Amino acid sequence: MPDIDAEFTALPLRQLADAALNRSRELGAEHADLRVERLRSQNVGLRDGRVEYSRDGEEIGLAVRLVREGTWGFAAGMEMTTEEAVRLAEQAVDVARVSAPVNTDRVELADEPVYGDATYVSAYDVDPFGVPEPEKLALLTDFCERLMAADGVDHVNASLWSVKENKFYADLAGTSTTQQRVRTWPEFTAVAVDRAQGGFETMRTIGPPAGRGWEYLTGVGWDFEAELAELPELLAARTKAPSIEAGRYDLVIHPSNLWLTIHESIGHATELDRALGYEAAYAGTSFATVDGLNSLQYGSPVMHVTGDRVAEHGLSTIGYDDEGVAGQQWDIVRDGVLVGYQTDRNMARLMNLGRSNGCAYADSSGHVPVQRMANVSLQPAASGPSTEDLIGRVERGLYVVGDKSWSIDMQRYNFQFTAQRFYLIENGQLVGQVRDAAYQATTTDFWGAMEAVGGPQTYELHGSFQCGKAQPGQGAPVSHGCPSALFRGINILNTVTEAGR
């Protein structure tokens, strides 16, 4: 496992913490914490094998967050000096003092064990920032040229986004953590242009973003070479595919598509701040309100959904969250019933739920930590069927692969999703692609229609590199694991007809 970057650990982290925390205590804070963050990000994009953009940036800063007389205070800055740490503590106390008269909910934090001088490094082999840019561009260009050489491919778009995140956290209770996380997101899209009709079709790789390093591009964790070799044929089939006939279909949904439905209809819906109405301005609240805890029938009895911050290579995987809570796993839906939420320390204490499950996260030192999504995952059946077996159970249906566009209402209840590929299933066999399809349902109807989940051999970890939440807006990475799954009688729309064309 790689070491934490020496450039980060060489910063005066302990001195900054001592200065900020001692001053916070002197000024009457019941809780105080200091975060120092360094975020390195690199984006490279190619079009038709030529570099379209290349960005490499780094931001570093520190922040003090505290509770004084039951009210939050927060301040952030850029200078790595003890004088700045003291100033930020004083400013955070001023913020708490000014905010106190309008605070209606006294802030209290759920208890958490103390972790002294803890370290964590995410699971990756090769630091992407240690790979020379010419080497990266050479591999991306080679992939693009292979696609461009295939019949029927007119254009190719490629991108690679790499992030290294360093965090130091210390609080008045005595917890001190230093962490390093690396994540990578390659993506390739082939485009076919219909010059006679003036239209075009696209087909994108389904290889997900992952908590991995440069090794991910060279065959560790995903075979991009094999997927790229298949892409032109898949694109050609899509260009010739018939338009879907709207109606009710059974669906077998591959993890590369189902992850996004999990994200929108379960992940966001079971964020406790959203369920309580604290998060409303950004994408709404949730139908899964707390009066339904341990009673709401979220889905069928085969539905078992967990939240975790510990899945290997998960985008939301951490050692400790931004409140010093250790990563863990817990149940959200068990036997189809809502049994848990995602919480931070304040929300857990507010609802008497016991210990926080470690979902506090800030995307930079300049932002206050908010409750963010864990790796929310649908669990496979221990001896469950293969994807082929699930398809074999369907007389008339669709096999759904790869995410594309989506829409969901402000309560996380009514939704529709499209896909990279829809295959028609007839009498248990795939008979080719169809176009212009979207599946539509309400959350509880959809998950209630889930008849079977695949076995561990069908399980994959997909996810989002940049999930948005909060105001000012923050982005957070999150993975969602799931097996292939079978759903009965789902409404299928023809998107062309629905658009009035």
State the Cα–Cα distance between residues 131 and 409, nearest whole angstrom.
43
What is the amino acid identity at position 399?
Y
Give me 277's structure tokens.
Answer: 């109405």
How much is the pLDDT for 233?
Answer: 97
The answer to whether the CB of 270 falls within 8 A of the CB of 288 is: yes
Picking from 365, 340, 366, 364, the residue whose alpha carbon sits closest to that of residue 354 is: 340
Residue scoring higher pLDDT (292 or 499): 292
Report the C-alpha dihedral over residues 476, 299, 378, 231, rounded to 10 degrees: -80
Predicted pLDDT at 198: 78
Residue with tokens 């409750």: 371
Using one digit for the tens of pLDDT, what is the confidence trace for 55-75? 999 999 999 999 999 999 999
Return d(Cα 188, Cα 207) in angstroms, integer: 9
CA 33 to chain centre: 26
Query: Is the pLDDT assigned to residue 197 strictly greater than 90?
Result: no
What sign results for the dihedral spanned by CA atoms 309, 311, 316, 321?
Answer: positive
CB atoms within 10 A of CB 468: 12
Mean pLDDT of 430-446: 98
Mean pLDDT along residues 147-172? 97
What is the pLDDT confidence band of residue 397, given thresholds at 50, 70 and 90? very high
In 127-173, which residue ranges form alpha helices assigned H by DSSP?
A: 133-148
Cis omega (within 30 of 0) for bond into 242: no
The SS3 assignment for 494 reads strand
Matching residue, tokens 């069927």? 385
Give the distance from CA 21 to its chain's centroid: 32
Residues 6+ apart with CB under 8 A from 396: 249, 250, 425, 426
**Residue 228 burial (C-beta neighbours within 10 Å; 0-12, 13-18, 19+):** buried
Average pLDDT over the chain, rounded to whole? Answer: 97
Conformation bin of residue 453: beta by default, left when phi > 0, alpha when psi is -120 to 50: beta
Q: What is the pLDDT of residue 500?
A: 80
Please state, in angstroms and rounded to a whole number, the distance separating the CA atoms of residues 264 and 412: 7
Q: Which CATH superfamily is domain 6-240 in?
A: PmbA/TldD superfamily (3.30.2290.10)
List Cβ neighbours of 500 (8 Å cut-off, separation of 6 or more). none
Query: Residues 6 or more apart from 430 whose CB is under 8 A from it?
Result: 391, 399, 423, 424
- The confidence score (pLDDT) of residue 430 equals 98
Does position 31 have pLDDT exceeding 90, yes or no?
yes
**pLDDT tens figures, 347-363:** 999 999 999 999 999 99
* pLDDT, average across residues 276-283: 88
Model confidence at 282, pLDDT cuts 50, 70, 90, reads: confident
Q: For residue 499, what pLDDT is reported?
A: 84
Question: What's the DSSP call for residue 123?
Answer: S
Contacts of 258 (CB under 8 A, 6+ apart): 378, 400, 482, 484, 485
User: How big is the CA angle at 82 (ends 31 and 364), to the nearest 5 degrees?
Assistant: 65
Across the range 4-8, mean pLDDT stands at 97
Q: Identify the three-state secondary structure at position 258.
A: helix
CA proximity to 64, closest of 29, 101, 103: 29
Percent of the chain with pLDDT over 70: 100
- pLDDT tens column, 312-356: 999 999 999 999 999 999 999 999 999 999 999 999 999 999 999
Sequence ranges of the domains in the chain? 6-240, 247-498
Phi and psi dihedrals of 291, rounded to 5? -70, -15
Collapsed DSSP state (helix, strand, coil) of residue 82:
helix
* pLDDT digits 0-9 by tens, 363-374: 999 999 999 999
Q: Do 85 and 34 touch, CB atoms closer than 8 A? A: yes
Q: Tell me what pLDDT residue 293 has.
A: 97
Would the pLDDT of 1 be above 80? no
Angle at CA 52, nearest 5°, toward 406 and 221?
60
Q: Rounded to two decimals, what is the model's pTM?
A: 0.97
Q: Which two tokens stand for residue 210?
A: 């992952």
Q: Which of 236, 228, 161 is nearest to 202 (CA)?
A: 236
Alpha-carbon distance of 31 to 361, in angstroms, equals 17
**pLDDT recorded at residue 283:** 82
Q: What DSSP string describes 355-401?
A: S--S-EE-SSTTS--EE---EEEEPPPTTPPPHHHHHHT-SEEEEEE
Q: Are 371 and 343 in contact (CB under 8 A)?
A: yes
Helix (H, G, I), strand (E, B) or coil at 459: coil
